[in-house]
Structure 1
Amino acid sequence: MAIPNEKLQQLLQEIEQKAAFAQQQLGIVRSQIASKNRENRMLQLSSSELDTLPKDTPIYDGVGKMFVLTSTEDVKGRQAKEATDVKAEIANLEKKLHYLETTYNNSQQHMEALFKRGG
């Protein structure tokens, strides 16, 4: 049973749109993952720098446009929480990346199957 030419073109156009959208989202998600990895690396570096400081070193934490004297433990705790949040966001973005890659690959396979069947 052959698919009418108009339906074939409409189906192909829908698959192409889905593939283009998935490819666009892949680029966005990859850049977000890279940004989160940089943020995670900065947190690791600042945490290691805090570990090298003596206990009585005054630490100032930025709050808006001013700085507030804070204890080392408070800063380390805040950074540890931020690091766990960033790791969770990276894990979610990697799941989204996997889904988008699968969607894109499936769209490519469907287009190839349509070309083989139709042509």
Structure 2
Amino acid sequence: MAAPIDLELKKAFSELQVKMIDTQQKVKLADLQIDQLTRVQKHAKLTHAEVAVLADNTRLYEGVGRMFILQSKEDINNQLMDKQKTAEEKIKELEQKKVYLERSVKEAEDNIREMLLSRRAH
């Protein structure tokens, strides 16, 4: 009877190991994406600060591929604000995803602990 218990525990541990490795990779990817979005957000914020001090009649150009398009100061400010807001929303989503992934691994670990304790009690 000890052999089926050992096989069941081995299976549970191997599933947990696979889940932990997968989760760690997803958390690392989320961290990288958060770092990149933070840089984008900071760049947009700094650019917005520089554009804000310019006179309203200053000619501003937006880089599009290999060319530059004349844009109004208001349009550029709106684009920069949208870029900041979008990055902030994505960062919040990624943080929530990380919390969910970490919680799911913790629950799997707790389930295995309970299984071990119930096996020892019998």
Q: How does 1:53-92 map to 2 (within 5 A)?
A: 53-92=54-93
- Structure 2 CA distance for aligned equivalents of residues 17 and 5 of structure 1: 18
Deviations 1:61-89 (A, max 9, x none): 01111001111111001111111111111
Q: How does 1:3-82 map to 2 (within 5 A)?
A: 4-82=5-83
Q: Is the 8 A contact 2:12 2:112 kept in 1?
A: no
- Scaled by the length of structure 2, the TM-score of the pair is 0.84
Corresponding residue pairs, total = 119
Displacement, 1:6?
Answer: 1.2
Q: Where in structure 2 are there 5+ consecutive unaligned residues?
A: none
Sequence identity (%): 26
Change (3 A) 1:20 1:118: farther
- Asked whether 1:102 is paired with 2:107, we answer no
Q: Which has the higher contact order (CA 8 A, sep 6+)?
A: 1
Displacement, 1:18?
Answer: 0.7
- Structure 2 CA distance for aligned equivalents of residues 20 and 116 of structure 1: 24
